[in-house]
Structure 1
Amino acid sequence: MFFGLLRMVKFYYIALAMMACCAIQVNGDPSDDVEAAWENFQAHNPLKKDASPQEIAKRKTNFAKAHSMIERHNKNKNATFQMEHNKFSTMDDDEKKQYNGARPPPHHESSKFLNVDDIAVSTRQLPASLDYRTDVCLTSVKNQGSCGSCWAFTAIAPLEFAQCKKTSTPIVLSEQQLVDCDTNNGGCNGGWYTSAWYHLKNGCARQSLYPYTATKNTCKYTSAMSAATVSSYGSVTSNSPASMQLVLQKYGPLAVAITVVNSFYAYKSGVYTDPACDNLPVNHGVVVVGWGTLNGIDFWIVRNSWGSSWGSSGYILMQRGVNKCGIENYPAVIVSVA
């Protein structure tokens, strides 16, 4: 009986040990989780071989902050969008800001406001969804790099689309021309898309003749390079989603400005609804290329200029009808090309 009791006690302690071990494996050590994520990230995004210990430590600290934000957000069952690690995970805030660059002019120049009453379509005729992503006239997503030239990319995509619709031939145009030559804007230090369209009334070069370098250089544009010319453009009524839809359907992609905050950099999928970006000054230019509804949430389909590896193949779905991140404040569109 004594030995039987001893065996029972021994079994009890073994069971407790196994339960403790399982608990450690299930709950895990947060530091182990970060280490594993860091090692995996490094396997696909290695730092420069000559990176100093101080540089590595700084990048790892930035990554840990991003990892905490992403993990906490993705575990929220009520989240309408998901986040992931990408090239921004190891960047400082100042480095991230270099990928923005929307700078509204002090006195918003008087581009004509489009009168939606003149557009022969009613809101009752608007489809439930519209998506130009698969349209042959919308070029592949581009990458501005660490140059605050989003305004140039926001200006060029609608021009490419409009020119293609006129000629029935896809065309890829030059953002670098704007960065180098548009003196009303600031190159890699930011600018505004309607100011860029004003400059492009004198013609826009093909990208093949004026390739992108992500730095501001001496202007090399000549009229012989021109492949498209802006004839007229207009602003769309602010804070009027229906007006945006009407114009988007009639003329094509809309240039808009938004406010980018930390969660935006890590966007992966779903409808972006973060309230942290609301009621703040805009800082980034993007292009609206459609609309739809997902899980009861209306959204805009938004084309970014951070390459196809960011977000959903270079795109993000942003909540529609609530002026999310200021997206409905400054919509504008190219009306015609020469």
Structure 2
Amino acid sequence: MKGVVLLVLSLALVFGVVKSLEVTEQDLATDESLWDLYERWRSHHTVSRDLTEKQVRFNVFKTNVKHIHKVNQMNKPYKLEVNKFADMTNHEFRNSYSSKVKHYRSLRGDRRRTGFMHENTEHLPSSVDWRKHGAVTPVKDQGRCGSCWAFSTIVGVEGINKIKTNQLVSLSEQELVDCESDNQGCNGGLMENALEFIKQSGGVTTEKVYPYRAKDQRCDATKMNAPFVKIDGHENVPENNEQALTKAVANQPVSVAIDAGGSDMQFYKEGVYSGECGTELDHGVAVVGYGATNDGTKYWIVKNSWGSEWGEKGYIRMHRGIDAAEGICGIAMEASYPIKLTADNPKPGPQKDEL
């Protein structure tokens, strides 16, 4: 009985902390009340700081909280929250999580023109959600490593493997970080480089075999030489064409790049994101579906790699069909997907504990 009481009290404390992170006018009234909010935030996210660092971080936190509260008072179709990034400046946030897609594109040159196998897709459904088809693994967390390009790539490969083989297997981002030499590991890269690597190397192994460590390591050839899923190549979606992107997503999850550096993106909680952002592509994510709200607002369903605490359990819905050809935050500029022609994998199906 005592154990049950303690459990109830613990849960009450947890939910009390979470509830207390909803910013009120009272929280904003004084530095003292904001400091109390900051301490509750640190406790909830188990963030440890020394006294000097705490003061610096508190000032950042205070600025961010005021921004979050201000935006949430506006009549926007999305809301922000005081999440785990709340004591990081936007500059620090971009440096820690950026994949520098636009930078690597400028070094590599224009995108290679490929075929587009989904061009003749007709009678597009009004909505698609590959999660409902069991083609998307649980949300992952890249940590403070600019490896989002690897996570974006793997979502596409996991998805097409499920579609072709009816097996959903969590695959290894770390293999790409360590072994894909055309990209720069935690310092960023391009999804199409990673897709080409997977094709040329004979496949990619599972996350269980080659687990994620959120840091650059020496390539483990023994693990790399145990591929589980192979692909036959990749194609690039015609750029600046949301209709083409819609056709691709109707057939499989698609890797895309976005400009994710804005403060509203950093603190996104829920709703259809329509915040300010440019086309400075700096983050790899994956579109796993699309749909529309009851009022007719169209959106993309985007899987991120910042953990399930961010956004809508790790996802963000982004406004679809805006006036700009490149789409919101440049989402239609740099999209690609893997091709898998057969249902054959290099090895037999996974055991239950590999799923």
Per the TM superposition, whether the score is higher than 0.5 is yes
Structure with the higher fraction of residues in strand conformation: 1
- Output one character per residue of 1:287-329: Cα deviation in whole Å (capped at 9) or x when no partner: 0011111233211000000111110000000011121100111
* Local SS of the residue matching 1:226: coil
1:228 aligns with 2:232: no
In the alignment, structure 1 residue 65 sits paired with structure 2 residue 63: yes
Query: Is the contact between residue 287 and residue 302 of structure 1 (CA under 8 Å) also seen in structure 2?
Result: yes
Look up the equivalent residue of 1:210 and give its one-letter code. Y
Distance 2:28 2:285 in 1: 40
**Deviation per residue, 1:19-76 (Å, 9 max, x gap):** xxxxxx989825455234223312312332xx32111111111110110110000011
1:38 aligns with 2:35: no
Output the CA distance in 1 between the equivalents of 2:45 and 2:286.
28
Paired letter, 1:75: Q
In the other structure, the counterpart of 1:331 is: 335
Partner secondary structure for residue 87 of structure 1: coil
Local SS of the residue matching 1:191: coil
In the TM superposition, residue 168 of structure 1 has moved relative to its aligned partner by: 1.3
Q: Distance in 1 between matches of 2:54 and 2:281?
A: 32
Task: Decide whether the 8 Å contact of 1:177 with 1:221 is kept in 2.
Answer: no
Q: Give 1:133-144 correspondences, 5 Å limit.
A: 133-144=131-142
Q: Specify the alignment match of 1:296 in structure 2.
A: 296
CA distance in 2, matches of 1:157, 1:72: 34
Contact 1:102 1:150 in 2 (8 A): no
Whether 2:85 is the aligned partner of 1:88: answer yes
What are the equivalent positions in structure 2 for 1:102-251 lying under 5 Å apart?
102-103=100-101, 104-105=104-105, 106=107, 107-110=109-112, 112-114=114-116, 116-117=118-119, 119=120, 121-122=121-122, 125-201=123-199, 202=201, 203-222=203-222, 224-250=225-251
**Which is further off, 86-95 or 169-178?**
86-95
- After superposition, the Cα gap between the structure-2 partners of 1:274 and 1:27, relative to the gap in structure 1 and judged at 3 Å, is closer
Q: Which runs of 4+ in 1 moved over 4 A?
A: 25-28
What amino acid is the match of 1:215?
K
Letter in 1 for 2:76: A
Partner of 2:351: none
Residues paired across the two proteins, number: 304
Letter in 2 for 1:230: I
Aligned equivalent of 1:310: 310
Provide structure 1 residue ranges, at least 5 long, that are not aligned to the other structure.
1-24
Q: TM-score, normalised by structure 1?
A: 0.85
SS at match of 1:301: strand
Say if 1:61 and 1:246 are closer, same or farther in 2 by CA, change over 3 A: same
SS state of the match for residue 228, structure 1? coil
Judging changes above 3 Å, is the alpha-carbon distance between structure 1 residues 73 and 30 closer, same or farther for their aligned structure 2 residues? farther
Q: CA deviation at 1:166?
A: 1.8
Shift in Å, 1:94: 4.2
Q: CA offset at residue 336 of structure 1?
A: 1.7
Sort the Cα spacing of 1:75 and 1:217 in 2 relative to 1 into closer, same or farther, 3 A. same
Q: Which stretch of the first structure deviates more once superposed, 107-116 or 132-141?
A: 107-116
Deviations 1:101-128 (A, max 9, x none): 14243313425141544x3x32xx2222
For residue 287 of structure 1, what is the aligned residue in structure 2?
Answer: 286
Which of 208-217 and 238-247 deviates more?
Answer: 238-247
Measured on the aligned residues, the alpha-carbon RMSD in Å equals: 2.0
Unaligned runs of 5+ in 2: 1-24, 343-355
